[in-house]
Amino acid sequence: MASSPSSSLLLSLGLLALLAGLHGCSAHFSRASGQGIWPLGRHPQQRQRHQLRFRTECRLDRLYPQEPSRRIEAEAGFTELWDEEDEQFACAGAAALRHVIRRNGLLLPSYTNAPKLMYVVQGNGLHGAVIPGCPETYQEDESRYQGRGQGLRGEESEQRGDRHQKVRFIREGDVIAIPAGVTHWTYNRGQSDLVLVSVLNTANEENQLDENIRKFFVAGNPQQYQQQGGRSRRWERQGRRGQRGGRQEQQEESFGNIFNGFDDDLLSDSFNVDNELARRLRGQDDQRGHIVEVQDDLQILSPRYDGGEEAEREREREREREGRRRRDRFNNPGNSTSEDDASDNGLEETLCTLRLRENIDNPERADIYNPRGGRITTLNSFSLPILSYVQLSAERGVLYRNGLVAPHYYLNSHGLIYVIRGSARLQVVGDLGQMAFDGELREGQFLVIPQNFVAIKRANEQGFEWIGFRTNDMATVSPLAGRLSVFRSLPEEVIQNAYDVSREDARRLKYNREELTVFSPGSGYRGRN
């Protein structure tokens, strides 16, 4: 029996729908099987884009310590950058730099295309971050400014006291989180150099540009920084690809701050100032670089801290207690009391009042401590909630003489280790059981440890101190030896058969280390050769 035209049309539409459904299921399966479980709060397509990029770049069979590849001088300090094109940093989706700010030096306001964590290695100073849309919560007494004055264009304008967003005192051991696109500045108010080490998470979903560090200066004439800091190298690559035109060549010769490319008249109208002041905004005649010297001490409106170290420690202990309460509520949501629910409604830290700073140098904050081996302190989004935005966390480690960190790996992140003091022997092994690194890591060097690569650290005679940056706000470490290790959780018979050893040897592998992660030197069992 012949089918009608309408039935043929319906059949065709049905087949098309079926094919589309199969294609959608296939695509969904490929995404799910390639990525596993998507982390909560992140869009699957965004995570897929980054994961696929990592998969094509993390082909690492040989790791090596990283020294800065470029140094950029300025009037009151200098900046050193690690090679962001190195395959280790490309694999981690990260970039690293170090600022050395001399006394009374001001690192000019700027922002970047990627969020970052900054660690204060040495010194103390002031740090300001300008979060768009937030009010000026620091306000000077306006009674000091009675009367009226002349505006720049001749109009009368009321004299006001200074107003600005919050300014933070920073000191050695502080970790400061800076979201993408947030303008920030740093001033050295101490007597010694202020040394800052930063890691930028270029693979973060907040970065919509590319994997290069793009630093946008709001002031000054940081021409040398931009020429030596990577911008000119990107243009060279474009030239080799035949993508560089005459207009680009002209632009390359005229680096500057973000106002440099604008017309004086438009800037004058935007700020309601005269053309001469608008021209100063562009900073074309400023030769001081990206770190400038303040002639007199910087006078900034900020509260004076006079509570002493004990009050500071009490605040840190309270923040730690709050972090534990967060963890308990996260791990046991059914056991939270009504008091807990009332105090944690999701709005305890609004955008404008987010804490950006946490000190992790205090030994009392150590998460793991061995009096003969050393200590490790971790910082994640439980203790500093803003880290959930920047998708980074930190680890501060101290190993005493010949102290040992158990073989371990990062479950869900890459690790970037920067040596603060001392040195250590490190071994790193990859997925095929091959030695990816076996050597000494010294002060001032970086080493990238890729996700799931197994690492062991042993301090040398002078000890070993490091700051570790991790590319996940809730990075998780799995030790392979010690009391809370993989071996301790395996049945004895599984170890016995897996390694073809006696039951007694299986028990030694499982129980001979009673310490947690940080081991004392020479405390382990040593059998006959």
Q: Using the Cα atoms of residue 197, residue 203, residue 207 and residue 209 in order, give the sign of their dihedral.
A: positive
Residue type present at position 135: P
Mean pLDDT estimate for the chain = 77
- Nearest Cα neighbor of 399 from 348, 463, 338 is 463
Q: What does the pLDDT read at residue 283?
A: 83
Strand partners, 437: 428
pLDDT tens-digit series, residues 442-481: 999 999 999 999 999 999 999 999 999 999 999 999 999 9
What integer is the mean pLDDT of 118-129? 94
10 Å Cβ neighbour count for 358? Answer: 21
Looking at per-residue confidence, does 75 or 41 come out higher? 75
Chain centre to alpha carbon of residue 171: 18
> 170: Cβ–Cβ under 8 A, 6 or more apart, which residues?
120, 124, 125, 126, 127, 176, 186, 357
For the cut 60, the answer to whether the pLDDT of residue 167 exceeds it is yes
Q: What does the pLDDT read at residue 223?
A: 72
Q: What does the pLDDT read at residue 36?
A: 31
pLDDT tens-digit series, residues 488-503: 999 999 999 999 999 9
For residues 55 and 52, what is the distance between their CA atoms, to the nearest angstrom? Answer: 5
For residues 106 and 99, what is the distance between their CA atoms, to the nearest angstrom? Answer: 11
> 8: Cβ–Cβ under 8 A, 6 or more apart, which residues?
none
Give this prediction's pTM: 0.78
- Nearest Cα neighbor of 232 from 72, 66, 87, 117 is 72
Q: What does the pLDDT read at residue 221?
A: 84
Longest distance between any two alpha carbons in the chain, whole Å: 99
- CA torsion, ordered 457, 458, 459, 460, to nearest 10 deg: -130
The secondary structure of the chain in percent helix, strand, coil, rounded to multiples of 5, reads: 30, 30, 40
What is the pairing mode between strands 518-519 and 368-370?
Answer: unpaired
What integer is the mean pLDDT of 163-177? 86
Q: Is 249 helix (H, G, I), strand (E, B) or coil?
A: helix
Q: Is residue 468 within 8 Å of residue 413, measured between CB atoms? A: no
Angle at CA of residue 61, ends 55 and 64, nearest 5°: 110
Q: What does the pLDDT read at residue 324?
A: 56
Q: What does the pLDDT read at residue 287?
A: 86
The pLDDT confidence band at residue 522, using thresholds 50, 70 and 90, is confident
For residues 388 and 138, what is the distance between their CA atoms, to the nearest angstrom? Answer: 27
For the cut 50, the answer to whether the pLDDT of residue 156 exceeds it is no
The pLDDT confidence band at residue 150, using thresholds 50, 70 and 90, is very low
Phi then psi for residue 505, to 5 deg, are -65, -35
For residues 320 and 382, what is the distance between their CA atoms, to the nearest angstrom? Answer: 9
Q: Is residue 260 within 8 Å of residue 283, measured between CB atoms? A: yes
The pLDDT confidence band at residue 120, using thresholds 50, 70 and 90, is very high
Both tokens assigned to 365: 């904050």
Q: Is 20 helix (H, G, I), strand (E, B) or coil?
A: helix
Looking at per-residue confidence, does 444 or 213 come out higher? 444
Q: What does the pLDDT read at residue 40?
A: 32
Element at 9 (helix H, strand E): helix 5-35
Distances (CA, A) of 245 to 67, 239, 240, 242, 253: 34, 8, 12, 8, 13
For the cut 80, the answer to whether the pLDDT of residue 138 exceeds it is no
For the cut 80, the answer to whether the pLDDT of residue 34 exceeds it is no
Q: What is the CA radius of gyration of the chain?
A: 28
The pLDDT confidence band at residue 137, using thresholds 50, 70 and 90, is low
Asked if the 361-519 domain carries CATH number 2.60.120.10, the reply is yes
Q: What does the pLDDT read at residue 386?
A: 92
For residues 170 and 194, what is the distance between their CA atoms, to the nearest angstrom? Answer: 10
User: DSSP letters of 289-352?
Assistant: -SEEE-SS------PPP-SHHHHHHHHHHHHHHHHHHHHHHHH-GGG--HHHHHH-SS-SS-GG
Q: What does the pLDDT read at residue 222?
A: 79
The pLDDT confidence band at residue 284, using thresholds 50, 70 and 90, is confident
37-46, 288-297, 334-343, 480-489: range with lowest mean pLDDT: 37-46
Q: What does the pLDDT read at residue 166?
A: 79
> What kind of fold does domain 70-143+150-242+251-293 have according to CATH?
Jelly Rolls (2.60.120)
Both tokens assigned to 277: 């002041």
pLDDT tens-digit series, residues 312-356: 555 555 555 555 555 555 555 555 444 444 344 444 456 777 889
How many Å from the N-terminal Cα to the C-terminal Cα in the chain?
88
Q: Is there a shared CATH topology between the 70-143+150-242+251-293 domain and the 361-519 domain?
A: yes
Q: What does the pLDDT read at residue 25?
A: 39
Q: Is 269 helix (H, G, I), strand (E, B) or coil?
A: helix
User: DSSP letters of 147-205?
Assistant: SEEE-TTS-EEE----EES-EEEEETTEEEEE-TT-EEEEEE-SSS-EEEEEEE-TTST
3-7, 151-155, 382-386: range with lowest mean pLDDT: 151-155
Q: Which of 99-108, 131-140, 210-219, 236-245 has the highest mean pLDDT?
A: 99-108
Q: What does the pLDDT read at residue 342?
A: 38
Q: What does the pLDDT read at residue 527?
A: 43
The pLDDT confidence band at residue 304, using thresholds 50, 70 and 90, is low
Distances (CA, A) of 242 to 235, 236, 238, 251: 10, 10, 6, 17
Q: Is residue 454 within 8 Å of residue 428, measured between CB atoms? A: yes
The burial of 221, by beta-carbon neighbours within 10 Å (0-12 exposed, 13-18 middle, 19 or more buried), is given as buried
Q: What does the pLDDT read at residue 232?
A: 42
Q: What does the pLDDT read at residue 308?
A: 47
The pLDDT confidence band at residue 132, using thresholds 50, 70 and 90, is confident
pLDDT tens-digit series, residues 215-259: 899 988 877 666 666 554 444 444 444 444 444 444 444 568 889
Q: Which of 39-53, 126-140, 490-504 has the highest mean pLDDT?
A: 490-504
Q: What does the pLDDT read at residue 109?
A: 93
- Would you kindly state where each structural domain of the chain is located, as residue ranges? 70-143+150-242+251-293, 361-519
